[in-house]
Structure formats: C-alpha cells, structure tokens
Amino acid sequence: QVQLVESGGGLVQPGGALRLSCAASGHIFSINAMGWYRQAPGKERDLVAQFISLSTVNYADSVKGRFTISRDNAKNTVYLQMNNLKPEDTAVYYCNAYVKVYSYNTPTEYWGQGTQVTVSS
C-alpha cells in the first residue's frame, strides 16, 4: 500500500508564505505525475500545481508567479512553496500522485489526507 503524508499547512497573514511537503511511502516502483490540489469550502477540488513528468509542470493560472512546485525523487517527496498568499488561497491542500507499485502494472492514483491552509489577518 502507498501512503501520501502532507505537512506544512497552517495560518498565515496575507502576503505571507508557507511551504507544504508531501512524502510518498510504501511499495513504490516509480511515481509518475505528482502534485497538489486544493478544495475550498463549497467548491470543487482544483489543480494547483503538478509535475506531469519529471520536468514538466502545470500551474493553475491563479498561482502562477506566486507558487513553486519542486520534487526530490530520491525521497519520493514533492514540495509546494507558496509566496504572497492571498485570502482566496484558503483551502484544504491535497497531495496527489500516480504510483506504479510494480514495473508491469499501470499507475494507480493516490491522495493524501489533506492539510489546511488559512490566509487571514
């Protein structure tokens, strides 16, 4: 079984910064796409930033220039550096990954438990 464990959420004032981490553990052959989604109260879960390959990244338009995603393949970990945070960034942030447990199977999608980010003065 594969687990994704997030950390780094919290309360921050507008204009502040936070860094989220997500570590994948368990029986992992390889990790394909890996990234972050967020869900605000009453809204759908939306993509924030994602590695769709080892070097290709997608960002939501609303976070471009403020958020940076990075990964440490040796640690099966992905990070999200969030700068210049705004109240509208308030949401539960979820880690997402497509993982191959064995070389011969297709990637399976996994989700973390979520970490709350609140931007408020």
Spacing of C-alpha 42 from chain mean position: 20
CA distance 105 to 99: 10
CA distance 111 to 88: 23
- Nearest residue to 82 (alpha-carbon basis) of 25, 5, 23, 10: 10
Q: How do residues 54-101 score in pLDDT, each as one tens digit?
A: 889 999 999 999 999 999 999 999 999 999 999 999 999 999 999 999
Q: For residues 20 and 113, is the Cβ–Cβ distance under 8 A?
A: no
- Nearest residue to 94 (alpha-carbon basis) of 24, 12, 27, 22: 22
3-state SS, residue 89: helix
Task: pLDDT band for 119, please (50, 70, 90 cuts).
Answer: very high
Considering only CA atoms, give the Rg of the chain: 14
